[in-house]
Amino acid sequence: MDLSRPETPRPSSVAQRLARLHAALLTPYDADGEVSVASLKRLTAHVKAMGIEGFYVGGSTGEGLLQSVDERLAIFETVAAEAGSGAKIGHVGAIATRDAQALAKGCADLGYDAVSAIPPIYFPHRKDAIFGYYEDILDASQGTPLIIYNIPNMSGVIFTLDDLARLLSLPGVIGIKQTSIDMYQMEQLRRSFPDALLLNGFDEMLMAGLASGANGGVGSTYNVMGQRYLHMQEKLAAGDLAGAARIQSACNEVIDELVRVSVFPGMKYLLYRLGVIDTPVCRKPLLTLSSSTCGRLEEIAARLA
């Protein structure tokens, strides 16, 4: 297994700009289930007000796979206008390569810092086909760099360290969004690819991810607890492990309840109760929570407010 650093030059300035915390933006809907541009603008402003200056748009949290290509492009456009100087990563993953390419081109046209993509899902694909999918996205991205989105629990695709090394060697790939509990692999990636961008993907393991080599993170609950995660990052940088652990534990108490009621609908309900978005509506088949099904989220929203 050859884990030496790839020879391909990397756009290090982009990787450095993206080495931060990024909110995985939700997509607000109106009562009819259509994208609410007004709520999306307020959510973007809300995230910025917490100090989070990175935006990961159209991913799992944003329900991207439940939207049409036109809807996804419109969401990219709205966030690009509202995020201002904030760092922007557009998730362009799709079942069909041509859709992923259209989304990648759209992000490039809008000036996104990078695109990102889960592997193609549902149909079984050989690894060579998956590598080809990423190469095709790069061909369409007009020089906008690509971040591999490794999320084995949801994609069903298991990337070995060799696989990730091969993907990192592709010209234009600058890093990995590592939504995996495998912190050993995170450390191996950092050790083998010291210049790569590694973004931790599980909010409940941000402290572990940063300690294992991640130089940033992407998180759903950054939408409501952004200040906490920034404070945790500061504690770690200062060597205050106990302080960082206390903050992670406080975040995880909220995450425990979100997991119990269903994470994405729960996040929508919290933002609705906080007055950031107009409805808690999720796109079916995802659930939409109500006051009778939200568990302890009313209490948590009051505390977060």
177 is catalytic: yes
Please name the residue that has the structure tokens 């809008």: 110
State the virtual CA torsion across 35, 39, 42, 47 in degrees, nearest 10. -60
State the virtual CA torsion across 143, 145, 146, 147 in degrees, nearest 10. 180
Please name the residue that has the structure tokens 């009621």: 261
All residues at 6 or more sequence positions from 149 whose CB lies less than 8 Å from its CB, including other chains: 59, 91, 93, 116, 117, 118, 119, 176, 177, 179, 201
Separation CA 165–CA 8 (nearest Å):
12
User: Phi and psi dihedrals of 115, rounded to 5?
Assistant: -115, 160
Separation CA 66–CA 299 (nearest Å):
30
Separation CA 230–CA 233 (nearest Å):
5
Catalytic residue, candidates 177, 222, 268, 272: 177
Q: How distant, in Å, are the alpha carbons of 1, 6, 170, 288 from that of 9?
A: 21, 8, 10, 46
Please name the residue that has the structure tokens 């406080």: 250
Cis status of the peptide bond prior to 119, with omega within 30 of 0: no
Separation CA 211–CA 168 (nearest Å):
21
Helix/strand/coil for 197: strand
Catalytic residue, candidates 149, 222, 229, 272: 149
In a 13 Å sphere around the CA of 207, the CA atoms on its Cβ side amount to 21
Q: Which residues have a catalytic role annotated?
A: 149, 177
